[in-house]
């Protein structure tokens, strides 16, 4: 049943979809995401978010298979397989997700591994995709700096996706994983009016338990940390070199840690670990206004005459064609 897009309200019902992908399988993981969107809509959510790189999965093989070895046939085969399963937006790989978003009038924040056609189609990016309640892709933010071993498979992104989007009374922005530790990048979103920050993670309570509340207090915003989950049993045996990967895995590879903090830094949902779950809460924009009374980092508690931030939002490319 299609639900009408909600009128502007002070409240917003949000869902944090902590799911495990069908690891490195784009088609089956997409079906699982579509099902989760429908479940969130059934819970009257107006927004649902998923973890970092959940479609088709985080590159957990790198640290388990000597990923830094140069010219390794194992790493080449796994990287090519990953590229084949990555999301090519221009080819319609997100169409079923957008269609469910439109059908149920629910906005979606989705962590993907993107095979970017505008960069030649042979490099992949950790991308946060923002889809509105009409099923329209509003922005694609490519992770600025892949973290540590991620650099062995993901390319560096750019500032094009450092954008916020309105949903009801809220202004929503988001970042991937350790980008959330980058103060200037956070500031780029704060200065555009962000008051609901969505932090996507591959899955670890140790990552979310401190920074979620810290960003909430710093920004006086609601902060959703949404994590993936991966267990040893979630790794399909048909993935290249599966036996080698599995031999180095514990039972829990990524334990989740999805959570939600209010603009006062207090928990609304404490970190949830070791299970797939749709976490749901209703948040109230009035709390943002109350907490901004004594601190607003880009408003009355800023000094643009002393310090200012410059952001380059051009989509980077090596090619400019003039005919």
Residue 52: phi and psi, rounded to 5, are: -65, 130
Which residues, 6+ apart, have CB-to-CB distance to 192 below 8 Å? 163, 164, 171, 173
- Catalytic residue numbers read 52, 143, 177
**For position 6, what pLDDT does the model report?**
46
CA distances from 26 to 91, 94, 159, 310 (A): 13, 10, 26, 37
Please count the other Cβ atoms lying within 10 Å of the Cβ belonging to residue 261: 25
CA distances from 255 to 20, 177, 183, 258 (A): 10, 15, 26, 9
Domain assignments of the chain as residue spans, ordered by start = 11-291
Closest by Cα among 273, 270, 224, 258 to 14: 224
- The span from the CA of 64 to the CA of 255, in Å, is 17
Q: Which CATH superfamily is domain 11-291 in?
A: Carbon-nitrogen hydrolase (3.60.110.10)
pLDDT per residue rounded down to tens, the chain (323 residues): 555 554 578 999 999 999 999 999 999 999 999 999 999 999 999 999 999 999 999 999 999 999 999 999 999 999 999 999 999 999 999 999 999 999 999 999 999 999 999 999 999 999 999 999 999 999 999 999 999 999 999 999 999 999 999 999 999 999 999 999 999 999 999 999 999 999 999 999 999 999 999 999 999 999 999 999 999 999 999 999 999 999 999 999 999 999 999 999 999 999 999 999 999 999 999 999 999 999 999 999 999 999 999 999 999 999 889 99
Q: For helices 95-104 and 26-42, give the axis angle rounded to 10 degrees.
A: 10
């Amino acid at each position: 049943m299609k639900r009408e897009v909600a009128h502007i309200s002070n409240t917003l019902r949000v869902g944090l979809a902590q799911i495990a992908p069908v690891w490195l399988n784009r088609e089956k993981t997409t079906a699982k995401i579509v099902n989760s969107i429908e479940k969130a809509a059934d819970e009257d959510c107006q927004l649902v978010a998923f973890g970092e790189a959940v479609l088709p999965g985080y590159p957990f093989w790198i640290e388990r298979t000597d990923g830094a070895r140069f010219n390794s046939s194992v790493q080449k085969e796994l990287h090519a397989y990953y590229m084949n399963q990555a999301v090519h937006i221009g080819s319609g790989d997100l169409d079923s997700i957008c269609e469910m978003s439109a059908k149920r009038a629910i906005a979606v924040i989705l962590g993907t591994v993107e095979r970017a056609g505008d960069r030649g189609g042979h490099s992949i990016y950790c991308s946060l995709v923002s889809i509105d309640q009409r099923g329209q892709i509003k922005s694609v933010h490519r992770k600025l700096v892949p973290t540590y071993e991620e650099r062995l498979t993901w390319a560096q992104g750019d500032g094009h996706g450092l954008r916020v989007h309105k949903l009801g009374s809220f202004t929503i922005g988001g970042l991937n994983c350790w980008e959330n530790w980058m103060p200037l990048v956070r500031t780029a979103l704060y200065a555009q009016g962000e008051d609901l920050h969505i932090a996507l993670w591959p899955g670890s309570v140790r990552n979310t338990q401190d920074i979620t509340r810290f960003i909430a207090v710093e920004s006086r915003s609601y902060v959703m940390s949404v994590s993936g989950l991966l267990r040893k049993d979630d790794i399909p045996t048909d993935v290249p070199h599966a036996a080698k990967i599995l031999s180095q895995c514990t039972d829990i590879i990524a334990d989740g840690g999805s959570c939600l903090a209010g603009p006062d830094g207090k928990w609304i949902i404490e970190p949830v670990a070791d299970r797939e779950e749709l976490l749901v809460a209703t948040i109230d924009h009035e709390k943002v206004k109350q907490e901004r009374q004594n601190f607003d980092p880009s408003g009355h508690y800023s000094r643009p005459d002393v310090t200012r931030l410059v952001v380059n939002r051009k989509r980077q490319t090596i090619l400019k064609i003039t005919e």
